[in-house]
């Protein structure tokens, strides 16, 4: 599967890049995608909600009055959850929501998401480029020439490109990330995946089923 490589002015370079079928043309595994999305979203939860239980509020543990003979409902101590100032029954406690997947499952999830994008012809490849200073106009002009303006775009760069990142800060529909940082959610959230040439090579090297020894994602 080949796709055209564009220059940084939005014009075709006359060259093509191969989209490795083991990365961009597999049968997507929806269950593994769901597991990876769940993992990523769970890692973003703080889990810091906390309410005071009855043993954590101030107050005597003495029974407030005798059990029988007063005409009132029976009652325990002042820390009881049914009394004002008492502790919360079954209240929230800090917890860790994170869970993990093994490396093969994470890579399968990304390959599945990439295959969905390639299947719908939503993968574009552009030569590695940098800009001298942050310029939102320069980015928007590029997207217009590529005919992808107005869509949600994930621009994966080969290296950290600070100027490109800053240029996209005013564009709510553009997500610029170094390719090593993109995950399944980033890919699925985008309408169009715009890859620099080096980013495509990195994805192919890391996610291909023919992995080189010692490669880490």
Question: Do 113 and 29 form a contact (C-beta atoms < 8 A)?
Answer: no
Q: What was the pLDDT predicted at 213? A: 42
Distance in angstroms (rounded) separating the CA atoms of residues 72 and 64? 11
Distance of alpha carbon 148 from the chain centroid: 22
Q: What was the pLDDT predicted at 9? A: 81
- DSSP-based three-state secondary structure for 75: coil
Question: Do 103 and 12 form a contact (C-beta atoms < 8 A)?
Answer: no
Q: What is the mean pLDDT of each run of 10 residues along the chain (217 residues)?
A: 85 87 94 96 92 88 89 88 88 91 95 95 92 92 91 94 93 94 95 94 87 46
Q: What was the pLDDT predicted at 210? A: 54
Question: Do 203 and 114 form a contact (C-beta atoms < 8 A)?
Answer: yes
In order of their start, the domains of the chain are: 2-29+101-207 (3.40.1370.10), 46-96 (no CATH)
E strands in 38-184: 123-126, 153-157, 174-178
Distance in angstroms (rounded) separating the CA atoms of residues 144 and 156? 18
């Amino acid at each position: 599967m080949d796709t055209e490589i564009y220059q940084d002015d939005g014009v075709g370079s006359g060259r093509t890049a191969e989209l490795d079928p083991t990365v961009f043309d597999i049968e997507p595994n929806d269950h593994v995608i769901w597991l990876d999305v769940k993992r990523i979203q769970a890692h973003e939860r703080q889990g810091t909600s906390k309410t005071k239980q009855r043993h954590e509020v101030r107050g005597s543990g003495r029974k407030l009055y005798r059990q029988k003979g007063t005409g009132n409902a029976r009652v325990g101590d002042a820390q009881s959850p049914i009394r004002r100032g008492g502790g919360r029954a079954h209240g929230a406690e800090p917890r860790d929501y994170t869970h993990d997947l093994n490396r093969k499952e994470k890579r399968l999830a990304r390959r599945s998401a990439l295959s969905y994008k390639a299947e719908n012809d939503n993968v574009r490849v552009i030569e590695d480029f940098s800009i001298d200073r942050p310029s939102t106009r320069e980015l928007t002009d590029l997207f217009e020439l590529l005919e992808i303006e107005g869509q949600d775009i994930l621009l994966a760069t080969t290296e950290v490109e600070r100027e490109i990142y800053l240029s996209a800060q005013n564009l709510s529909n553009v997500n610029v990330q170094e390719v090593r940082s993109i995950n399944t959610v980033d890919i699925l959230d985008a309408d169009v995946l715009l890859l620099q040439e080096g980013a495509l090579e990195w994805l192919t090297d890391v996610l291909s089923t023919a992995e080189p020894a010692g490669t880490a994602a």
